Structure 1
Amino acid sequence: MTDLDEIDFGLLKALSRDANQSAGALGRALGLSQPATWRRIKRLQELGILLGRRLDLDREKLGFGVTVFLGVKLGTKGRVSLEDFERAVCAIPEVQTVEHVLGLYDYRLRVTARDIADFERVLRRRVMLLPGVGSVDANVLLSEERRPGPLG
């Protein structure tokens, strides 16, 4: 692990709450000058700790009212490589995240759709036709209360 001090952790916590804050505002909150804050941000980026800034969209206001988590168990691991499955699933625009996991399923997918009928279309015409898919289990997201980062 890279040596980080309390100011680095404070900077990461502040950015995880609001990545749009200016270096000047962040510096004032942490007792640093704007140039010193920029140097720390640049260092965190160079170390690969700060990977980027993310735009958080309101999916519902954009017309995507359904989020479903899929557990995918591959049925033909010997004939289809994991890379083939990953390449194909990443090409589906409704699939927001692809996580290779250990446990009951091989992959966990986050799928966003306009409504249940749209999700069914994605499931039948895209996900079920992916190379190597054996079984799929679905969990519909009812609400999302908090999304804490690794720093709390």
Structure 2
Amino acid sequence: MSDRTATPDATDLAILKLLASDATRSAADIGRELQMTQPAIWRRIKRLSDAGVIAGRRISVDQTALGFGVTVFLGIRLAAKGRTSLEEFERAVTAIPEVQTVQHVLGQFDYRLRINARDIADFERILRRRIMTLPGVGQVEANVMLSEERRPGPL
């Protein structure tokens, strides 16, 4: 990958797969696995970061271990559509700590939210006191997650 627009090569993809499975892996550890030197791996990681291919490094937190046993996906259709109401809704919903993701989508709903709550009673409190009071909220549909299988994205 020689510049910001170049496509990652097979070695870059191998590095990305290893980092995607464990973002805490060191360049030396990755180098050992790929039979490359630590400086060569570090240069590639830096180049991938500078090009925006690596947007950050994250850890995966077990929500249940932290006491958040319920995940709910909410579909929200806004009552009044318009540029101002979209921005106002987005600003307000992203301020709610229990809302983990906000997705603006096409289809039956305008937004899809992922909410982590301690239990169903906690979710009901969040829904009544926070979500339903947001500007422009019309129709709401909740889907409680029963289980989740995480798969790495395509590389």
Coarse TM-score class (shorter-chain normalised): over 0.9
Whether 1:77 and 2:81 are equivalent positions in the alignment is yes
RMSD: 1.3
- CA displacement at 1:22 relative to structure 2: 0.8
Structure 1 residue 97 and structure 2 residue 101: aligned? yes
1:123 paired with 2:127, answer: yes
Could you report, residue by residue, the CA deviation over 1:89-118 in whole angstroms, capped at 9, with x for unpaired residues? 000000000011111111110000000000
Equivalence map 1:29-44=2 (5 Å):
29-44=33-48
For residues 8 and 132 of structure 2, what CA distance do their matches in structure 1 show? 45
CA distance in 2, matches of 1:121, 1:99: 22
- Residues 41 and 79 (structure 1 numbering): CA distance in 2 closer, same or farther, change over 3 Å? closer
Q: Retained in 2: the 8 A contact 1:80–1:131?
A: no
Q: Which residue of 1 aligns with 2:17?
A: 13
| Percent identity over paired residues | 66
1:51 aligns with 2:55: yes
Report the Cα distance in structure 2 between the residues aligned to 1:150 and 1:93, rounded to whole angstroms: 29
Deviation by residue 1:68-106 (Cα, 9 ceiling, x = unmatched): 000011111138421111100000000000011111111
Structure 2 CA distance for aligned equivalents of residues 79 and 14 of structure 1: 41
- Select 1:60's aligned residue among 50, 59, 64: 64
The structure-2 alpha-carbon separation of the partners of 1:134 and 1:80, relative to structure 1 and needing over 3 Å to count, comes to farther
- Which segments of 5 or more consecutive residues in structure 2 lack a partner in the other structure? none
Q: Partner of 2:116 in structure 1? A: 112
Q: How many residues align?
A: 151
Q: Distance in 1 between matches of 2:121 and 2:105?
A: 28
TM-score, scaled relative to structure 2: 0.93
Q: Answer whether contact 2:21 2:152 (CA < 8 A) is retained.
A: no
CA deviation after TM superposition for structure 1 residue 148, in Å: 2.2
